[in-house]
Copies of this chain bind each other. A is one copy, B any other.
Amino acid sequence: MLLTDIAQRLGLTLVGQDREITGVNTLADAGPQDVSFLANPKYADQVATTRAGAIITDEVHAKLAPCPVLVSAQPYLDFARLVQIMAKPLGRFSGQSDKAFIHPGATVHPSVAIAPFVYIGDGAQVDAGTRLFPHVHVGEDCRIGKNCTIYPRVTLMDGTLVGDKVILHAGVVLGSDGFGFAQAAQGLEKFPQIGRVVIEDNVEIGANTTIDRAALGETRIGRGTKIDNLVQIGHNVQVGENSIIVAQVGIAGSANLGKNVVLAGQVGVAGHLTIGDGCRVAAKGGIHASVPPGTDLGGGLPSIEYRQYLKTVATIPKLPEMSKRLRRLEKELARLREACQQDNPSGT
C-alpha cells in the first residue's frame, strides 16, 4: 500500500517521498516497510533513530522524523485506523461445521460461520455475518445480532440478547445466575434468577469476564462500552454508553453506572448505588456511596517499602485517637498562651 493511499484514506497530509508500505510497528521495531507513530511525547527521542518507512505524528514532532511523515492532529487514533485497515481477522474457518450442534429449533442466517463444537440451543437466533468460534455455547432463546465475533468457548446462557458488532473474547459468560439467597431457618434458599442479560451494539467484553442475569428484569451493558478481562458484573447492573471498565473490576448487584464512566483495574463498586456520567475511579478504588457526574475518585493506597509499611499499618487504627489528642493539644496550648500573656501583659 502506498503512503499516498494511506494519506488519502485517513485524510492526512504526507510530508516526504511516497513509498510502498506492508506493515505497522513501534518506533523501536519498525523497518523500512512499516509505518509507525508517535502520540506520547515521552517517546519523542525514539523518532530520530527509528528505521520506520514512515511515521504518523503531529506537526510539532514531524520535524524530528528521519523519514516521511503522515501529519495528524490525532496520531494515536489515525494509527489505530491504519492498523484496522491492515489487520487480518483471526479464524480462517468458514461455513457451518458438521461437528457443531445446531438445534432444529434455532434460526441461523446462512452467512453465519460456525466452527466445530459450537452448540446452538432451541429457539436461538444468530444474524448475518456473525462468526462463532469453536466451543461457543449459545443457550436456548438467545439472540445474537449482525457481524458479531464470538471467540472460543464463550457461553451465552439461555435468553441472553446481544446486539450488532459485539466482540466477546474467550471464556466470557453472559447470563449466569445472580447471587441471590434468602435466609431461612434451615439455611440459605435460592432466589431463582429469572431476568436476562442485554448487551447493546459495539460492546466488547474481555476474556473470562462474567455478567450475571437479572433476578427480575435486565442486566444491561450500554452501546460502545468496553469491558476488559476477568471483570464481574452482578445482577441488575446497568452500565451506560461508551464506558471503560478495566480488568478485574467488580460491580455489585443493581449498581447503576452512567455514560463515559472509567473504572480502572481492580476497582470495586458496591450494590444499589449510582455513578454519574463521566466519573473516573483510579485503580483498586472502592466505591461505597453514589457519586455525582464528572467526579474523579482515588484508588487504593500505593505500596511502600515493607518495614515502613509494617509501622504505618500499625499506626492507622490509632488515627481516631490521634486526631482527638491533636484537638486536646490545641485547646491546652491556647489556654496556656492566654495564661502566659496574663503573667506578662507587655506581651514580650
Contact = CB atoms under 8 A, between A and B. Distances in A.
Interface of A: 24-26, 29, 74, 76-77, 79-81, 83-84, 86-87, 90-93, 97, 99, 101, 115-117, 119, 121-122, 133-135, 137, 139-140, 151-153, 155, 157-158, 167, 169-171, 173, 176-177, 179-184, 187-192, 194, 202, 204, 206-208, 210, 212, 216-217, 224, 226, 228-230, 232, 234, 241-242, 244, 246-248, 250, 252, 265-266, 268, 270, 280-289, 295-306, 308-320, 322-323, 325-326, 329-330, 332-333, 336-337, 339-340, 342-344, 348
Given A206-B210, A265-B252, A342 B337 contact: no
Contacts of A24: 194, 216
A336 B224 CA distance: 64
- Specify how many copies of this chain sit in the oligomer: 3
A219 B300 CA distance: 26
B322 A326 contact: yes
A208 B171 contact: yes
Contact of A202 (B187, B265, B337): B187
B315 A300 contact: no
B323 A317 contact: no
Given A232-B265, A280-B306, A325-B330, 4 more contacts: A25-B217, A90-B158, A187-B241, A207-B212
